[in-house]
A and B are shown apart, each in its own frame.
Chain A
């Protein structure tokens, strides 16, 4: 399968932070959720992909080409939505659009107008008068109006209400009817991804914890609960982010079969969702530190 985005052994060192050998890839036609706690390295990775920050090592290929060598061509084909709004606050929506549009060779005014209508965006209002959701919709309209192949979304839904988030996911679903597109969707609201994402990449403290097909990941992890006297040294090795309380323990595990053979039917196993996986894993890594 060909990849629309490929990141290989990417590294970057800042004071007090190391992005360490990050690798993942997205095939054409699919959407990858990029999850991790605040400060885990999501935005840094995205800035490196966009070449807004220079990498120390590793390789980034977009549409199969080196992202620095073909910088200009590639950026024409990326739709980018940032968590915060980087527009001139004093300009009107239309005024701002008129500044951005000429940067893109393939700007499609017809598509832009369709989104303006679909999102109910007020053309004459100043950017600063828009609500947070409206600003996000404007960013999205811009990102989707120049026939971009790769859509990169950095925390687009944070701080927005469920109704908007649902609308937003609807747009992504429509977009992915086209097999030549790809989406990298960074978020810490994992419920947005539980359904829509094909792949999930989880980063913690600058390192990739896992990256792969979402269904396989969700199928592998379970929440384990049971009474404390069941815990042995052996079983400790299979438990992630173990928490004990007065009446029992609970933890995450990615090896339900082994746990069952060790502890038998006396444990309770429950499906883990992405939130659980992120929470327990992050907790363990904090404790190791």
Chain B
């Protein structure tokens, strides 16, 4: 697992960690049941404060991506295939919403967007 922290980004550091671990879980790079580094190890490795890494784990736990067993550590949660699919869809949905907003702003209609999508899907 890679975690890259940007100090100049306006996104808070705990959010950067949250987002990157979440993505690793969703794309399946982190497998269910896999042990994550401890909060203190993560803080040391990323050269950040313990409170920051703790906050990231708390948010991941809250959203069901990881589970913490006191005294043992934090593990990637068992994600049902359905739930995972839904989460993946949601990521695309969010991105498409942005695209749709931009289209409306720039006066591009649905048919034109469809056409563009068809082309892009074939190409990439």
| Residues on A facing B (Cβ under 8 Å) | 29-31, 169, 173-174, 176-177, 179, 195-199, 213-215, 219, 271
Q: Give Cα A81 to B30, complex, Å.
A: 42
Q: Give Cα A199 to B54, complex, Å.
A: 13
Quick check: B47 and A196 within 8 Å, CB to CB? yes
* B10 CB-CB contact with A under 8 Å: yes
| Residues on B facing A (Cβ under 8 Å) | 10, 12-14, 40-41, 43-44, 47-52, 55
Question: How many pairs of A and B residues are in contact by the CB < 8 Å rule?
Answer: 42
> Nearest Cβ distance between residue B51 and chain A, in whole angstroms?
4
Q: Which 6 A-B pairs have the closest CB atoms?
A: A198-B51, A173-B44, A198-B49, A177-B40, A195-B47, A198-B50
11 additional A-B residue pairs with CB within 8 Å, beyond A196-B49, A198-B51, A219-B12: A29-B40, A29-B50, A31-B50, A174-B44, A176-B43, A176-B44, A177-B41, A177-B44, A195-B48, A198-B49, A215-B14
Q: Give Cα A124 to B15, complex, Å.
A: 50
Q: Give Cα A219 to B51, complex, Å.
A: 14
Known: A174-B44, A176-B40. A214 touches B50 (CB 8 A): no
Quick check: B55 and A176 within 8 Å, CB to CB? no
Residue of B nearest to A194 (CB): B7
Q: Give Cα A38 to B51, complex, Å.
A: 28
Q: Give Cα A29 to B53, complex, Å.
A: 14
Quick check: A176 and B47 within 8 Å, CB to CB? no
Please indicate the chain A residues that have their CB under 8 angstroms from the CB of B44 in the complex. 173-174, 176-177
